[in-house]
Amino acid sequence: MIVFNKNPEYFITIAKERSISKAAEDLYVSQPYLSQHLIRLEKSIGVKLFDRSQTPIVITSAGQIYYNYLESSYQLYQKLSSDLDNLNTERENTLNLGIGSWRGSTLLPDVLPAFKAKYPKTKIFLHEHPIDELYGLIEDNTIDIAIMNINWLTRDNLAREVIMKEKILLVANIGNPLTKLLHNRTNNGKTDLKVLENECFILLKPGLVCADTVNTFLDNNKIFIKNRIITTNNTTAINLVIENMGFCFMTETGLKRASNTECLEFFDLCSHDMEVYLAVIYKKNSYLSPTMRNFIDITKEFYSSVKTA
């Protein structure tokens, strides 16, 4: 008889980390204790869940079946909780939303009022983190959904819903003499950035989707920016351009809430290489409650009305 697993997160963490010692650190338990837990679990099930002869350890076929079972059980729990919430209108729903701090500042003031008007009793927990950290928070069920820019989703256990494909625009200060020159170097809608190679650019930190997209575009077009200021914050970048410190790039949806844009000019570089997806990310095959579904739909509706520059 298979014994009910009271600590499914132990197995899931081992599978995620592919290391008992690393999983023990994540779970704040000792390695011997976690090893004994796994031995007892395998004995109760009657099969090996991991091949521990390899480094890192490898989940077995039986282990994958067990992992899928635990995932399905969690999804059923989510649906049960949501169905009970719908029956009990006095009970608070919760939404754990993952979002980058800059994206949160530009999106949430427009979307949350409409959402709260429909779900006034929903308790919302905002998890504002760097984009690369949001993936892990989805995988360990800390957040329900995340909104972020992506190029393409490559993680097999995650699903995406595209909200829109947005352009990355060049941002220039009207008072910069080279801004006028850029107009003169624009042919058939394409702007020649080589005139800016000796100018200062405020660029996002490599590793961010938009930063990597811009850097790839520059490399492919043999544009070599020598003077760079690196930041992790779009607001910092655009404020430095306002102070005529140089040029930057920004996704078109960020312009709606940017301040002092009257002194700025935006250039569409007319290249598919300067486009990124804005998407909602969540666990594949997870149960999306009506609350989550409604938030996604309101977000899509908002962005469908955003006018590009």
Q: Which domain holds residue 63?
A: 8-81
Domain boundary (32, 57, 81) is at 81
CATH code where residue 167 lies:
3.40.190.290
Residues 231 and 109 in one domain: yes
Residues 170 and 298 in one domain: yes
| pLDDT over 70 percentage in the chain | 86
How many angstroms separate the CA atoms of 105 and 101, rounded?
6
What pLDDT was estimated at residue 79?
Answer: 60
Residues 74 and 110 in one domain: no
Residues 75 and 102 in one domain: no
Residues 77 and 205 in one domain: no
* Residue at 89 is within a domain: no
Residues 282 and 229 in one domain: yes
CATH code where residue 41 lies:
1.10.10.10
Q: What's the whole-number mean pLDDT along residues 88-106?
A: 78
Residues 19 and 115 in one domain: no
What pLDDT was estimated at residue 91?
Answer: 46
Which residue is listed with tokens 């209108």? 89
What pLDDT was estimated at residue 90?
Answer: 47
Describe the crossing of helices 20-27 and 31-45 by its angle, rounded to 10 degrees: 110
Residues 63 and 143 in one domain: no
Tens of pLDDT, residue by residue over 3-37, are 556 677 888 888 888 899 988 888 888 888 889 98
How many angstroms separate the CA atoms of 200 and 204, rounded?
13
Quote helix, strand, coil % in the chain, to nearest 5. Answer: 45, 25, 30
Residues 12 and 159 in one domain: no
Task: Identify the H or E element spanning 263.
Answer: none
Quote the number of domains for the chain. Answer: 2
Residues 242 and 100 in one domain: yes
* Residue at 117 is within a domain: yes
Q: What's the whole-number mean pLDDT along residues 43-67?
A: 88
How many angstroms separate the CA atoms of 193 and 214, rounded?
12
Residues 136 and 230 in one domain: yes
- Residues listed for the chain: 309
Tens of pLDDT, residue by residue over 182-208, are 877 666 667 778 889 899 999 999 988
How many angstroms separate the CA atoms of 250 and 36, rounded?
52
How many angstroms separate the CA atoms of 157 and 138, rounded?
10
How many angstroms separate the CA atoms of 48 and 287, rounded?
29
* Residue at 1 is within a domain: no
